[in-house]
Amino acid sequence: MENIYLLALVTLVAVGVGFALKANGGQIKKPKTHENFSSKFNKFGSQGSLGTLIQFSTEYCSICPSSKKVLTEIASQSPGVEFIEIDAEKNFDFAKELSVLATPTVLIINNFGDEIARFSGKPKKDKLRGFIKETLTASSLERKSA
């Protein structure tokens, strides 16, 4: 009987953690502090004149394709914004340098190559579109002082 209570407790904790992770997935977060990596991104694709959405993916990531679809759509509808996808496994050291701990992780960088935000998980399309419209264009007008 004691084992049943333990099993029930473990199940409830696991469900709670699962709900917490799902609720936080796709939320736009403050950027990590690191040096400007603009020149390193160039080998993966061209950067936008206002900014770039950079997704770190892996082959086994189940939500990466749907995330890529959303990001590609948003970039195509946002003048001056480009989308780059980077394989986190093949570029492990670079992903580690940028503190990418899960896939998909998306970095939003401005035209100076400064990270202005990041999120993990499938993006919430309307929230991301609004963030780009309000923040990316504004941050691209002038560089933040460190």
pTM over 0.75: no
Instruction: Please give the pLDDT value at position 103.
Output: 93
Q: What is the CATH number of the domain that holds 37?
A: 3.40.30.10
Q: Round to whole Å and give the CA distance between 29 and 120.
A: 9
Has residue 17 been placed in a domain?
A: no
Quote the number of domains for the chain.
1
Cβ-in-10-Å burial (0-12, 13-18, 19+) of 46 comes to exposed
Tokens 């970095």 belong to residue: 107
Q: What is the mean pLDDT of the chain?
A: 79
Range of the domain at 75: 27-139
Distance of CA 107 to the CA centre of its chain: 5
Has residue 87 been placed in a domain?
A: yes
Instruction: Please give the pLDDT value at position 139.
Output: 56
* pLDDT tens profile 73-112: 999 999 999 999 999 999 999 999 888 999 999 999 888 8
* pLDDT tens profile 46-81: 888 888 999 999 999 999 999 999 999 999 999 999
Q: Round to whole Å and give the CA distance between 33 and 50.
A: 20
